[in-house]
A = this chain, B = another copy of it.
Amino acid sequence: MKCLFVVADGAADRPCKELGGKTPFQAANTPNLDTLAADGVNGIMDVISPGVPPGSDTAHLALFGYNPCKYYTGRGTFEALGAGIELKEGDVAFRGNIAMIEKGIVKDRRAGRRDAKLFEKALKGIRIERVQGIKPVVKATVGHRFVLVLRGKNLSCGITDTDPHKTGVRIQKSKPLEKSEAAIRTAAAVNEFTEKALNVLKKHPANKNQKFKANAVLLRGAGIFKPMPSMKKKYGLRAAGVAKGALYLGVARAVGMKTIAPKKATGTVNENYESLARAALKALKNHDFVFVHVKGPDLAGHDGKPKEKVRVIEGIDGMMGKFMKLKNTLIVFTSDHSTPCSLKNHSGDPVPVMISGPGVRPDDVISFDEISAAKGGLNRITGLSLMPIVLDLMGKSKKYGA
């Protein structure tokens, strides 16, 4: 049996005034999701634990059955993997922005969203010299964003960000959060890189006559790379991930999925669902497990736009229509977390989860939404319980005892 595993990022919500007290899932017209829910088993899920708002990184690890308490050290590694960098054990990776400062004060954390690719070569030229044996690796990603990886022996992600996360204040010095030599070395390397970036960017020709000068870098989300067992090794599954965002591709790569970023997919509220569906159907031909990530609902949630979320969910429902005739395939549909429009941020509310396909015990839920799912046959599970349930339905579970 195969499994199609669809994550509607941040789609779960709370009752919205603009929707007459309904959640976007309740308000949306979702004939395909409702059919799947009616045929399947439904429930609510604490992706991390009750009341705890999951980050997108920790959430996806948990959904794939990898305990984030064990495997999560920071977002940087997943962004680096998603950007296509080959990480080695012990590498420390950061998310980076090019930014504009004046007299050391951050004026624009994104330098007017200018393209980091313009400055990639200059940043790649920086060498760490004050700390021995550390080599920086730089890769520009989308817009103003880039990834920095520090490679070398004895590094640590137990250091603070240089990104102050707001404007009007100084770039921060990275400080060790532990007393280890590794943390001291890493913080020093980060500070040296940041300082040298200032010099390199100050005189960069691409900043000439620009309103937004990309004259600084801001680093955040340090993570140290520990190789994780692949889904092939852990579960015996040939797995693929269809996504557009670097983070999701990165988590998929971290667990050994083949990653597919369809060219026409946008990763926005105006998604090309056709391209996601096509990529998923193609991947299902030679993979056992295909993860599909849809970013749109999370963006609508962060923007606080319930009606837009409804529209996005209806688009996703249309995509699900392409999967209704799959044979011998388990379809899992859920969210990585709730992003209530009223909060414009992640919340700790449980997400609805549905499993439809051969072997499931159908319950009497006939609509896919947060409230209906809570009455479903799965009851309330945790994120780490989902994969074992899926594996068991796929015939891939192992008996405990004899």
Contact = CB atoms under 8 A, between A and B. Distances in A.
Interface of A: 14-15, 23, 44, 48-59, 68, 72, 74-75, 221, 340, 342-343, 346-349, 359-363, 370-371, 374-381, 385, 387-392, 395, 397-402
Nearest to A74: B402
A359 B377 contact: no
B371 A54 contact: no
A346 B391 contact: no
Nearest to A21: B362
A34 to B, nearest CB: 18
Given A377-B374, A379-B380, A381-B380, A397 B53 contact: yes
27 contacts: A15-B361, A23-B361, A50-B381, A50-B385, A51-B387, A51-B389, A52-B388, A52-B400, A53-B392, A54-B399, A55-B399, A55-B400, A59-B401, A74-B402, A75-B401, A75-B402, A221-B402, A342-B359, A343-B395, A346-B399, A347-B392, A348-B389, A374-B377, A374-B379, A375-B375, A379-B379, A379-B380
A51, A342, A343, A359: residue with the most chain B Cβ atoms closer than 10 Å:
A51
Contact of A374 (B56, B363, B387, B399): B363
A397 B347 contact: yes
Contact of A401 (B57, B343, B388): B57
A378 B348 CA distance: 13
Contact of A379 (B44, B363, B390, B399): B44
Contact of A399 (B53, B359, B401): B53
B371 A55 contact: no
Contacts of A348: 388-389, 391-392, 397
Given A14-B361, A395-B343, A397-B347, A389 B56 contact: no
Contacts of A359: 14, 340, 342
B361 A349 contact: yes
Contact of A390 (B15, B44, B51): B51
Given A359-B14, A371-B361, A371-B377, A50 B400 contact: no
A29 to B, nearest CB: 20
Nearest to A79: B402
A359, A363, A379: residue with the most chain B Cβ atoms closer than 10 Å:
A379
Contact of A362 (B15, B346, B376, B401): B15
B52 A392 contact: yes
Nearest to A389: B51
Contacts of A54: 399-401
Given A55-B402, A72-B401, A75-B402, 8 more contacts: A48-B401, A51-B385, A55-B401, A58-B400, A68-B400, A221-B402, A347-B397, A361-B370
Closest 8 CB pairs of A and B: A55-B401, A51-B388, A58-B401, A348-B392, A50-B385, A379-B380, A51-B389, A75-B402
A349 B392 CA distance: 8
A245 B72 CA distance: 45
A44 B380 CA distance: 11
A134 B354 CA distance: 55
Contacts of A349: 361, 392
A391 B51 contact: yes
Contacts of A402: 55-57, 74-75, 221
A397 B52 contact: yes
A390 B348 CA distance: 10
A1 to B, nearest CB: 12
A332 to B, nearest CB: 13
A280 B400 CA distance: 29
Contacts of A376: 374
Contacts of A385: 49-51
A354 to B, nearest CB: 14
A56 B401 contact: yes
